[in-house]
C-alpha cells in the first residue's frame, strides 16, 4: 500500500513513538485489559441473549453489562494515558484518530445503558437492546484496534528487515 502519488505509506509510529510505546507501562496494561474486556464481553453477550430469549437471568445480565462497562471505562482511561505517553496527547492523536472517534460512540452507548438502568428510562428489554447496540459498536471498535495492531506489527517487521538488509558500516 502506498500513500498519495506513489509515496510510501506514512508510518504508524515514528521511531521515538515506537520507543515510547515499547517502554510505556501502559502498553502492558492495555495488553491485559483488552483480552479481559473481550472475555467479559463474550460472557455478558451470552447472558444478554439468554435473557432476551428466555426472559430469565435479568440480574446476571445486568451485572455483566455493568462489569463490562466498568472494564470499558478502565481501558479507555488507561488507553488515554497510553496515548499521551506515546503521542503526547490524551485522545485523537492522528495515528488513532478514527479509533478514538468511534470509542466515543462506544462510551456514549455504554453510559446511556447505565443511565437507563439507574433512571428506569427503559424497561428491561429496552435496556438489553441498548446493551446490544453498545456491544455492536464495541465489536466494530475492537476490530479497528486489532487491524491497527496488525498494521503496527507488520510495520515493525518491515523496519526490522530493512535494518538487517542495511550493510554494516
In a domain, 127, yes or no: yes
In a domain, 8, yes or no: no
Dist. CA 104–CA 57, nearest whole Å: 29
The total domain count for the chain is 1
In a domain, 33, yes or no: yes
In a domain, 55, yes or no: yes
> What range does the domain containing 114 cover?
15-152
Q: What is the DSSP string of 19-55?
A: HHHHH-HHHHHHHHHHHHHHHHHHHHHHHHHHHHHHS
What cell does 99 get?
479509533
Q: Per residue in 9-68, pLDDT tens?
A: 577 888 899 999 999 999 999 999 999 999 999 999 999 999 999 999 999 999 999 999
Select the more confidently predicted residue: 88 or 167.
88
Amino acid at each position: 500500500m502506498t500513500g498519495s502519488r506513489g509515496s510510501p505509506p506514512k508510518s504508524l509510529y515514528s521511531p521515538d513513538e515506537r520507543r515510547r510505546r515499547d517502554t510505556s507501562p501502559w502498553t502492558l496494561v492495555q495488553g491485559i485489559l483488552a483480552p479481559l474486556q473481550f472475555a467479559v464481553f463474550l460472557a455478558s453477550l451470552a447472558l444478554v441473549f439468554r435473557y432476551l430469549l428466555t426472559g430469565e437471568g435479568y440480574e446476571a445480565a445486568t451485572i455483566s453489562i455493568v462489569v463490562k462497562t466498568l472494564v470499558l471505562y478502565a481501558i479507555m482511561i488507561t488507553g488515554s494515558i497510553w496515548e499521551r505517553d506515546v503521542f503526547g496527547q490524551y485522545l485523537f492523536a492522528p495515528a488513532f484518530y478514527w479509533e478514538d472517534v468511534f470509542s466515543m460512540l462506544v462510551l456514549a452507548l455504554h453510559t446511556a445503558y447505565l443511565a437507563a438502568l439507574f433512571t428506569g428510562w427503559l424497561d428491561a428489554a429496552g435496556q438489553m437492546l441498548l446493551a446490544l447496540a453498545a456491544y455492536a459498536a464495541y465489536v466494530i471498535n475492537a476490530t479497528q484496534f486489532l487491524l491497527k495492531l496488525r498494521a503496527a506489527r507488520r510495520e515493525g517487521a518491515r523496519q526490522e528487515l530493512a535494518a538487517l538488509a542495511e550493510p554494516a558500516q
